[in-house]
Amino acid sequence: MNKLITYIFLIFPLLGFSQELITNVHNRQTTSLNGEWNYIVDQYETGYYSFHHDAFDQQKGFQKSAFYSNYHAQNKQELVEYDFDKSPTMTIPGDWNSQKENLFYYEGNIWFKKSFDYDLKENKRLFVYFGAINYKAEVYLNGIKLGIHEGGFTPFNFEISSIIKEKDNFLVVKVDDTRKKEAVPTTNTDWFNYGGITRDVLLIEEPKSFIQDYFVQLKKGDKNTISGFVKINNFDENEEFINIKIPELKINYKGKINAEGMVSFEINSKKIKYWSPETPKLYDVSLEYNNQILQDNIGFRTIETQNAKILLNGKPVFLKGISIHEENDKGGRANSKADALRLLTWAKELGCNYVRLAHYPHNENMVRLADKIGLMVWEEIPVYWTVDFTNMETYKNAENQLVEMIGRDKNRCSTIIWSMANETPISDARNTFINNLNAKARDLDNTRLISAALLTKSNNLNSYVDDPIAENLDIIAFNEYLGWYGGNLDDAEKIKWTSKYNKPVVVSEFGGGAKAGLHGKKNERWTEEFQEYLYVQNLKMIEKIPNISGLSPWILVDFRSPRRLLPEIQDGYNRKGLISNKGIKKKAFFVLKNFYNNK
Ligand code: GCU
């Protein structure tokens, strides 16, 4: 056994960062590795560094003290000071904070191990896929390092065809959720830093040459042309064509693959039923190549801005929205279909046709459900408050999260807006940082709108946005907290908003806290009556904002935040929800519902 690992270790050097994303994993041949995983809390990274702080996976030869070796003492004399199989377990996917009381406040390193057998046939390839791991993941299979991934909210995968064994494979993941200045997000956020393997872990089996990725959406500005690309992994010259079939539209397109394994296509169709929140039409689409048939459900809609209006399928639309954090009913990180249904059903009940998924890409179940039930979506990368805009590594990290977000969800018609950032302070470095992300997003996908949640300025009763990056954004979105962080609610109707941009305006956040069940006068903070009045007044003000095209009040449900510490009121929760974390609707919920029903 030791000789084998030593041999393998010499042959297969470090494989580096995560590989190109395999998309639409839900409709591929997969084996789930979800379930109970052993874990070892490793505060001092004892399983990663020697006592002289040399990283084991940088050393030559077999490192039995390295936790990724999953080594067991061979006899009663041998010294080994860890044992995954005797270590506790937790459920994956799932954050460690809400599963283990003694890990509630833990931030740092935890190792996870999953053993499994897999009979990989000769002519097949195998990949391991992670829906998301917060925050930094170092992944090993059978003692071999597959690579590293940074960013807690986007998927990544590694090929393991050459490492997999029929029996006793051990997948080991070192997860580090230590908050760092140079990270994305940085150290300070108003949400809870849930650590762990927070989304599905899948084995994906594919033929030698297979469909890796594709983009099938309406061409920008052309509602009768379906366009995009298909990317083949390890293109096989004997298989020159792919087929794109949309039976309901009588489309059976045959495309010739070029030498790079790519097909770009444009398919004309005058019979498309367009997706909208009222009629969330999805088509069965299949991509066929090399005996592989990849199914997907895709909707077609156009989204654009014209003269300060947002047009959906060519018609002006008002975004009746709500902001949402990705939390489940147990005070943990949400990830399942049931979690998505709980949150989006409430949004529908509120009368929404739109949701802002804040401040990071939520799990894929959310956007796929939004496709299905008809909710337009704002997706965002966690460039939040004061990330280190001067640091090129920070930029690369943010850009990588953007690439992965767009990579995963570019075929989701519900997603209409990519957001680059939230409440970031104006500076040259910041402007360049976000403008570069903006350019990258347009390069990857020119069919959707680009925005960011901006801060506002005001003097007396005049409020406005004056931000250099707004020039390059399609939608002027801003957060305002009249009556909570400043201003007087009674002045709401006197406040004059001006906008120097001939662009649609969306109020991406407004709101105030209330403890569900706490009642009193409308000027008593934390009461439901205060929050109710705050909504009434803010909605009056917002209706008068020039070019107002939508809003997503902060927030659907109370959520955990280490910044909210007022005893008996907050107790570690941001209480700006319209629904409490226990599912109780507050009075303001009905103010907004009524507003949307009359909109
Ligand atoms: C900010 C921020 C949110 C935060 C909210 C609040 O605007 O974008 O992340 O939770 O305000 O203060 O409640």
Asked whether 580 and 327 are in contact (CB, 8 A), the reply is no
Per-residue pLDDT of 539-566, as tens digits, reads 999 999 999 999 999 999 999 999 999 9
CA 422 to ligand 1: nearest atom = 8
Q: Which residues pair with 114 in a beta bridge?
A: 171
Cis, peptide link before residue 359, omega less than 30° from 0: yes
Q: For ligand 1, is residue 559 a contact (CB within 6 Å)?
A: no
Two tokens at 306? 């014209």
- What pLDDT is stored for residue 12 in this prediction? 42
Residue 18 pLDDT class (50, 70, 90 cuts) = low
- What pLDDT is stored for residue 19 in this prediction? 77
Asked whether 305 and 314 are in contact (CB, 8 A), the reply is no
- What pLDDT is stored for residue 4 in this prediction? 43
Per-residue pLDDT of 444-460, as tens digits, reads 999 999 999 999 999 98
Q: Coil, strand or helix: which one is 380?
A: strand
190 Cα to the center of ligand 1, angstroms: 6
Q: Report whether pLDDT(8) > 90.
A: no
Token match 């990588």: residue? 400
Query: Rounded to the nearest 5°, which phi and psi values hold at 523?
Result: -105, 15
Number of residues written out for the chain: 599
7 Cα to the center of ligand 1, angstroms: 53
- What pLDDT is stored for residue 24 in this prediction? 98
335 Cα to the center of ligand 1, angstroms: 22
Residue 474 carries which side chain, given as an amino acid letter? D
Concatenated DSSP letters of 532-584: HHHHHHHHHHHHTSTTEEEE--S-SB-EE-TT---TTTTTTEE---SB-TTSP
In a 10 Å sphere around its CB, with 0-12 CB exposed, 13-18 middle and 19+ buried, how is residue 141 labelled?
buried
Nearest CA to ligand 1 atom 10: 190
Enumerate residues 6+ apart whose C-beta is below 8 A from 325: 191, 358, 555, 557, 559
Asked whether 570 and 564 are in contact (CB, 8 A), the reply is yes
Per-residue pLDDT, averaged over 353-368, amounts to 98
CB count in 10 Å sphere of residue 458: 15
Q: For ligand 1, is residue 574 a contact (CB within 6 Å)?
A: yes
Q: For ligand 1, is residue 323 a contact (CB within 6 Å)?
A: no
200 Cα to the center of ligand 1, angstroms: 28
- What pLDDT is stored for residue 340 in this prediction? 98
358 Cα to the center of ligand 1, angstroms: 10
Nearest CA to ligand 1 atom 7: 479
Two tokens at 278? 């009222």
Q: Report whether pLDDT(13) > 90.
A: no
- Encode 317-370 in three state secondary structure: CCEECCEECCECCCCCECCCHHHHHHHHHHHHHCCCCEEEECCCCCCHHHHHHH
- In whole angstroms, what is the distance from residue 267 CA to residue 287 CA? 14
Cis, peptide link before residue 135, omega less than 30° from 0: yes
Residue 458 carries which side chain, given as an amino acid letter? S
Per-residue pLDDT, averaged over 427-454, amounts to 98
Q: For ligand 1, is residue 423 a contact (CB within 6 Å)?
A: yes
Q: Coil, strand or helix: which one is 598?
A: coil
470 Cα to the center of ligand 1, angstroms: 20
- In whole angstroms, what is the distance from residue 325 CA to residue 340 CA? 11
Asked whether 210 and 125 are in contact (CB, 8 A), the reply is yes
Q: For ligand 1, is residue 189 a contact (CB within 6 Å)?
A: no
- In whole angstroms, what is the distance from residue 239 CA to residue 259 CA? 11
Identify the DSSP state of 209: S
Q: For ligand 1, is residue 200 a contact (CB within 6 Å)?
A: no
Nearest CA to ligand 1 atom 9: 190
- Encode 128-164 in three state secondary structure: EEECCCECEEEEEECCEEEEEEECCCCCEEEECCCCC
189 Cα to the center of ligand 1, angstroms: 9
Two tokens at 162? 């050459």
Nearest CA to ligand 1 atom 12: 190
CA 479 to ligand 1: nearest atom = 7
90 Cα to the center of ligand 1, angstroms: 31
Nearest CA to ligand 1 atom 3: 190
Asked whether 380 and 422 are in contact (CB, 8 A), the reply is yes
Per-residue pLDDT of 151-185, as tens digits, reads 999 999 999 999 999 999 999 999 999 999 999 99
Nearest CA to ligand 1 atom 6: 190
CB count in 10 Å sphere of residue 598: 7
Concatenated DSSP letters of 269-286: -S-PPPP-SSS---EEEE
Enumerate residues 6+ apart whose C-beta is below 8 A from 469: 430, 431, 434, 435, 438, 452, 454
Q: Determine the residue of 188, 190, 360 to mutate for testing ligand 1's pocket, defined as the one with the most ligand atoms within 8 A of the Cβ atom.
A: 190
Angle, CA 446 vertex, CA 302 and CA 220 arms, to 5°: 35
Percent of the chain residues topping a pLDDT of 90: 95
Nearest CA to ligand 1 atom 4: 190
512 Cα to the center of ligand 1, angstroms: 10
Q: Report whether pLDDT(14) > 60.
A: no
Q: Report whether pLDDT(7) > 90.
A: no
Q: Determine the residue of 574, 575, 578 to mutate for testing ligand 1's pocket, defined as the one with the most ligand atoms within 8 A of the Cβ atom.
A: 574
Asked whether 321 and 328 are in contact (CB, 8 A), the reply is no
Of residues 135 and 12, the one with the higher pLDDT is 135
Q: What is the CA radius of gyration of the chain?
A: 25
Per-residue pLDDT, averaged over 381-396, amounts to 98
- In whole angstroms, what is the distance from residue 575 CA to residue 46 CA? 39
Q: For ligand 1, is residue 380 a contact (CB within 6 Å)?
A: no
Per-residue pLDDT of 82-140, as tens digits, reads 999 999 999 999 999 999 999 999 999 999 999 999 999 999 999 999 999 999 999 99
Per-residue pLDDT of 502-529, as tens digits, reads 999 999 999 999 999 999 999 999 999 9
- What pLDDT is stored for residue 433 in this prediction? 98
Asked whether 377 and 414 are in contact (CB, 8 A), the reply is yes
87 Cα to the center of ligand 1, angstroms: 39
CA 574 to ligand 1: nearest atom = 13
In a 10 Å sphere around its CB, with 0-12 CB exposed, 13-18 middle and 19+ buried, how is residue 72 labelled?
middle
409 Cα to the center of ligand 1, angstroms: 25
Q: For ligand 1, is residue 371 a contact (CB within 6 Å)?
A: no
Q: For ligand 1, is residue 564 a contact (CB within 6 Å)?
A: no
Q: Report whether pLDDT(17) > 90.
A: no
Two tokens at 417? 């807006």
- In whole angstroms, what is the distance from residue 20 CA to residue 407 CA? 9
Q: Report whether pLDDT(216) > 50.
A: yes
pTM of the model: 0.96
Per-residue pLDDT, averaged over 295-299, amounts to 98
- What pLDDT is stored for residue 10 in this prediction? 42
Kind and range of the H or E element at 257? none
510 Cα to the center of ligand 1, angstroms: 9
Residue 298 pLDDT class (50, 70, 90 cuts) = very high
Query: Rounded to the nearest 5°, which phi and psi values hold at 6?
Result: -60, -45
Q: For ligand 1, is residue 479 a contact (CB within 6 Å)?
A: yes
Taking Cα atoms as reference points, which of 379, 378, 420, 371 lies closest to residue 399?
420
